Amino acid sequence: MDNKIRISYFTDVLCVWAYIAQIRLDELKLNYGDKLDIQYHFIPLFGCTDKRIGEAWKDKGGFKGFGEHVKEVCSQFDHVDVHTNIWTTSIAKSSATSHLFLKAVQLLEEQGQISKDIINGNNSLFEEITWKIRLAFFKEGLNISHMDTLFSIAEQHELPTDILRKLIDNGEALAALCRDMELANEYKIEGSPTFILNEGRQKLYGNLGYKIIEANVQEVLNRPENQASWC
């Protein structure tokens, strides 16, 4: 682990730009996976969708208008699919439920309850669950703010749901999620997705091309010892 560079990756599962950016993260892992230590963190941009969408988009069609916006954005990228009724049926009230659930899954991995090994393509089980939750919302139109939806995904992947519930019920998952929010404040995270490299010196935020992300990773990997990055 000492010879790897740490990347802190901040997203909201309901953020369309994080959904679109997954392909760039996958490419980064494919090309540099053995050199990276990616730490996943979640931020509540969509912690209250009634406020962020219902009120903020009130004069632009509300949830339906925002859904049309999301479909228009996704139509520009061939690698993603989006449900025709996104943000109009099965409206997610909050991303926080999914984030809490994912921190519990992450704790399962840290505690050795599930494997960290790659199981599908280039994903660990935790990474696969994270992606399945994004797909459940954006592609399948499911309400991922409902725990029943999330535990259904857990059962499909044979996760120990009894331990998951315990981690949620006893506050461990919530404590981990609160730490994510503290880190977001420390790094002054502006939105989703955001990559943090080089102990916070390099911050990559938003819809950035893969080459930009790769260039920053290469700069950290290749810089001489004790010399500052040029990025």
130, 98 in Cβ contact below 8 A?
no
Q: Which of 49, 158, 151, 157 lies closest to 100 in space, CA to CA?
A: 151
pLDDT for the residue numbered 131: 98
150, 142 in Cβ contact below 8 A?
no
Q: Number of helices (H) and strands (E), helices first, in the chain?
A: 9, 6
Does 214 reside within a domain?
yes
Does 227 reside within a domain?
no
Does 51 reside within a domain?
yes
Q: How far is residue 51's CA from residue 48's CA, in Å, rounded to a whole number?
A: 6
Does 229 reside within a domain?
no
Cα distances (angstroms) measured from residue 17 to each of 36, 105, 190: 22, 23, 13
pTM for this predicted structure: 0.94
Cα distances (angstroms) measured from residue 20 to each of 59, 71, 157, 174: 26, 12, 24, 27
Largest interatomic CA distance in the chain? 54
Q: Which CATH number characterizes residue 84's domain?
A: 3.40.30.10
Does 231 reside within a domain?
no
Does 119 reside within a domain?
yes
Does 37 reside within a domain?
yes
Per-residue pLDDT in tens (0 to 9) along the chain, 231 residues: 457 899 999 999 999 999 999 999 999 999 998 999 999 999 999 999 999 999 999 999 999 999 999 999 999 999 999 999 999 998 999 999 999 999 999 999 999 999 999 887 789 999 999 999 999 999 999 999 999 999 999 999 999 999 999 999 999 999 999 999 999 999 999 999 999 998 888 999 999 999 999 999 999 998 755 455 555
Q: How far is residue 52's CA from residue 70's CA, in Å, rounded to a whole number?
A: 14
Range of the domain at 155: 5-222
Token pair for residue 170?
A: 């006893």
Does 230 reside within a domain?
no
Number of Cβ atoms within 10 Å of the Cβ of 224: 6
Q: How far is residue 87's CA from residue 56's CA, in Å, rounded to a whole number?
A: 14
Number of domains in the chain: 1
For 132, the 3-state DSSP assignment is helix
